[in-house]
Structure 1
Amino acid sequence: MKLDQRCRYAKTHEWARKEGNELVIGISDHAQHSLGDIVFVDLPKVGVSFGKGAAFGVVESVKAASDIYVPVAGKVTAVNTQLQEAPDLINKDPYGDGWIIKLVPEDPSAFDSLLSPAEYEKIAAEE
């Protein structure tokens, strides 16, 4: 399982990485590996706000469909439209080209309350 040390993680297998005043959000390498080949991603609209833990989209694979949750409350500022044509970017590069949304968090300090890579690794290993 690959982890990006710049990211913080949620128990639901999403990651968040700071970029200026925004957070880039995606699903972890562990999650994409568990799902298998991703064939479709349902993206939210830019400008929509979500509460912490709310489902903001769906990732469908050859094995299953899984909701994706926002790890912190915030407003969506961008979506990765490349995923509409190439959803497998999540499999190939979950922490890079496979990002899903960008959002401005309601509380900038909420990022620090997410799991560290080491904490997330322990949780993922128990599954």
Structure 2
Amino acid sequence: MSRSAFIIDDADFMVDMLRLVLSEGGYSVAGSATDALVGLEQLRRLTSASKTVDIVIVDLHMPKLDGFETIRGIREILPKAKVLLVSANATLPVALKAKAIGVDGFVVKPFEPETVLETLRKMY
């Protein structure tokens, strides 16, 4: 069974790269957004249309809503979805806060495509 993912990252190139990595790794991509608020709205629409999203990949640093605020919104919409946080900020406080809000996986940017896939495999 192919797992379905949704990507929220303000960098177009990162969204494109993650789409490619996920597709090549056997995941389906239900959607993506380069704006966190738009991403949360799209997730709400997918949920209302009974579409499944198993994994949400979220960037930490974005305008309007940061990754942590976005994850709180994701948890309200999709409480059972796994969340993978991606960030160039690999400090202990970030890791502790991510763990405290229930992030399932964390990948430090820049990363190799296999690192993302391996982290996703470990999340299940």
Return the TM-score normalized by structure 1.
0.28
* Structure that is richer in helix per residue: 2
If each structure's strand is expressed as a fraction of its own residues, which one has the higher value?
A: 1
User: Which structure is richer in relative contact order (CA contacts within 8 A, separation 6 or more)?
Assistant: 1
